[in-house]
Amino acid sequence: MDMVTLTINGKQVQVEKGTTIKKAAENIGIEIPGLCDDNDLQPFGACRLCVVEDNRGNLVASCHTPVREGMNIKTHSKKVIDARRLILELLLSSHNADCFECDKSLHCKLQKYAYELNINNIRFDGEKRDFHVNAVGPIIQDPNKCILCGKCVRMCHEVQTIGAIDFADRGFDAYISAPYEKSLLDSDCIFCGQCVRVCPTGALVENPEIDKVYEALNNPKKHVVVQTAPATRIALGEEFGLKPGDIVTGKMVAALKQLGFDKVFDTQFSADLTIMEEGTELVKRLEKGENLPLFTSCCPSWILAVEKFYPELIPNISTARSPQQMFGSVAKHYYTKKAGIAPEDLFVVSIMPCISKKFERTRPEFDDDVDAVLTTRELSRMIKEAGIDFTKLEEEKYDSPLGESTGAATIFAATGGVMEAALRTAYSLLTGEELKGDAVEFTAVRGLEGIKESAIEINGKTVKIAVANGIGNAKKLIEKIKNGEAKYEFVEVMACPGGCACGGGQPYTDDPDFRQKRIEGVYENDKNSPKRKSHENEEVKKMYEEYYEKPYSEKAHHELHTHYASRRIEY
């Protein structure tokens, strides 16, 4: 390994050749500001806020300038600070600074650096941008708050490889848009929300549904229930000063009860239900050898990607609804009968790590089974608005009969988790035997690698499996299948790198290791679960006995499964 030695602020540093100055500075605890850089993206050097002074007195962009032997770097000389202030003032002079009305005001990098660089007076009177705000669909686009850093475009092109948005026009008139100025709803966008995650300002935010939920909570005629997705419990705590991966399930339940929800249920219940249906479907397809590989159907962004780019794969998609939509159907059909509530009086709220779930609930196939979707971030705002001291809450338990879950449901939050959960149950269905101890852990499908492949021996039959981590890797995997380079029986795809734990609706973070930390929390939760296989869920078994009879029954197929159709965009 070639190493380079340089000096940063008088301190000698040794790093690998090819490392950027910015990364080298981070190694010794120096944060250099930047609005266009991200660990997931190729260095771009657009904002220039990351400039540093080299030993020749030149200002260079540290985010994409590689270190050189003998470099002498100053990260906060007067020349550097003056340049950063000038850059920031120029950006602010034309920025639509309606900060009190901005959903990202507490997480705005522009505000953060303005404070840290002591911007008390803007010397320039720039022309304010005056673009139309697109608030239709799950994502709100406000070009007036855009600083043209390009992070959203690069995330969409480089990582997700969707290419739904790009730069349009030039100079001061430049803006970010879908082709032909279409709305995101009419574009190739799959609403994964990764553009929202990396946007440093309020130019991209989720379309909030908080007011809709408050209206229901204050309607005495409505019985309001809430479900919480597996990934929310290992990230919500970040909004209250806890670390990524800290498990806050009991406190989250307590907070939701204080907010006034009539019942607090667990999406992990319906994740176990999903495995019962999807696992049975896999076994039936393996027996018949039809429509293989079977692709998982839990991720709504993945489903949108298939409908828009690969409609020929629709027969290979599991017909099982996602856990969110299964819960909505179970709530509106089974729970209302059990609780003696008219379905029209039930209001179902989801707490999700995902912006695409907002789109999913509006699909006509699902008959408004879910009435509102809040991201993890939106829930944190409601908790803060209510004045609830989250860290001091006593832990509470989910309500019954839709509150029990297993460790298999927990790992839905991580890339590879749905695959592993399905295999735990499919093994039992195919062999009639139970996996015991650590044998339930299919570690081959875990981790943050782009594509994970393995073969599992079940009852003398080899089942070839694959997991795609992120939609960009899914497209690579599909090409391998189409070209005959690989053959599988079962494939999992999660659109967001890292899976739902790192979804577009999770808390904003600058922690470079946030994915790994959150995923570690997921597997810790699974490890500590008394039951780790979906078919061990007693409440799910009871529901089958009382209502659905058995997995994949006619009634189950009607209420727990769905169909998809091509949404290919023609420009």
Mean pLDDT, the chain, rounded, equals 94
Q: Where in the chain is the domain with CATH 3.10.20.740?
A: 3-76
Domain 3-76: assigned CATH number: 3.10.20.740
What's the topology of domain 266-344+387-560?
Fe-only Hydrogenase (Larger Subunit); Chain L, domain 3 (3.40.950)
Instruction: For residue 469, give the nearest of 489, 452, 487, 490 by alpha carbon.
Output: 452
Q: 474 burial class (0-12, 13-18, 19+ CB within 10 angstroms)?
A: buried
Q: Which of 421, 427, 414 is nearest to 456 (CA)?
A: 427
CA distance 213 to 225: 10
Distances (CA, A) of 98 to 132, 152, 211: 15, 21, 20
Q: How many other CB atoms are there within 10 angstroms of residue 164's CB atom?
A: 23
Catalytic residue among 360, 420, 492, 559: 360
Alpha-helical runs (H) found in 365-442: 376-385, 407-410, 417-431
Residue from 298, 299, 354, 502 carrying the catalytic annotation:
298
397 is catalytic: no
Identify which has the larger pLDDT, 171 or 374.
Answer: 374
Residue 291 pLDDT class (50, 70, 90 cuts): very high
**Virtual torsion, Cα 238, 242, 244, 247, nearest 10 deg:** -100
pLDDT digits (tens, 9 = 90+) for 171-189: 888 999 999 989 999 999 9
Sign of CA dihedral 374, 378, 384, 389: positive
* Model pLDDT, residue 188: 96
Closest-CA residue to 81 (of 41, 33, 134): 33
What pLDDT shows up at residue 264?
A: 98
Query: Does 534 qualify as catalytic in the annotation?
Result: no
CB contact set of 158 (below 8 Å; sequence gap of 6+): 40, 41, 42, 472
CA 316 from chain centre, in angstroms, equals 24
- C-alpha span between 91 and 48 (Å, rounded): 11
Among residues 69, 116, 290, 365, the one annotated as catalytic is 365
The band of 338, judged by pLDDT with boundaries at 50, 70 and 90, is very high
Structure tokens at 524: 């810790």
Domain with CATH 3.40.950.10 in the chain: 266-344+387-560
Instruction: Name, in order, each residue with C-beta under 8 angstroms of 392's C-beta and a sequence gap of 6 or more.
Output: none
Catalytic-labelled residue, pool 238, 277, 281, 378 = 281
Answer whether 282's CB lies under 8 Å from 425's CB. Answer: no
**360 is known as an active-site residue:** yes
The catalytically annotated residue of 404, 500, 502, 517 is 500
- The pLDDT, as a whole number, for residue 460 is 80
357 is catalytic: yes
The helix/strand/coil state of 258 is helix
Q: Which of 22, 145, 251, 357 does the annotation list as catalytic?
A: 357
For CATH 3.30.70.20, the residue range(s) in the chain are: 89-206
Integer Cα distance of 70 and 72 in angstroms: 6
Looking at 62, 297, 301, 318, which residue is catalytic? 318
Active-site annotation holds for 492 = no
* Confidence class for position 390, pLDDT limits 50, 70, 90: very high
Beta strand extents in 174-259 (DSSP E only):
175-177, 204-206, 223-228
pLDDT at 199 over 80: yes
DSSP 368: T
Judge whether 550 counts as a catalytic residue.
no
Q: Which residues contact 86 (CB under 8 A, 6 or more apart)?
A: none
- pLDDT tens for residues 92-136? 988 887 888 888 988 999 999 999 999 988 888 888 888 889 998
Active site residue 500: yes
Closest to 36 in 3D by CA, of 102, 109, 106: 109
Instruction: State the catalytic residue, choosing from 278, 441, 489, 559.
Output: 278
CA dist., res. 568 & res. 466, Å (int): 25
State the residue for tokens 């989720």.
206
Contact 321, 344 (CB under 8 A): no
177 catalytic residue (yes or no): no
Q: What is the pLDDT of residues 445-481, one digit of tens each?
A: 999 999 999 998 887 888 899 999 999 999 999 999 9
- The domain over range 89-206 is classified in CATH as 3.30.70.20: yes
Closest by alpha carbon to 514, among 534, 531, 497, 492?
A: 497
Compute φ and ψ for 106, nearest 5 degrees.
Answer: -75, -15
Which residues are bridge partners to 51 per DSSP? 61
CA gap 571, 569 in Å, rounded:
6
Query: For the residues 317-330, what does the mean pLDDT come to?
Result: 97
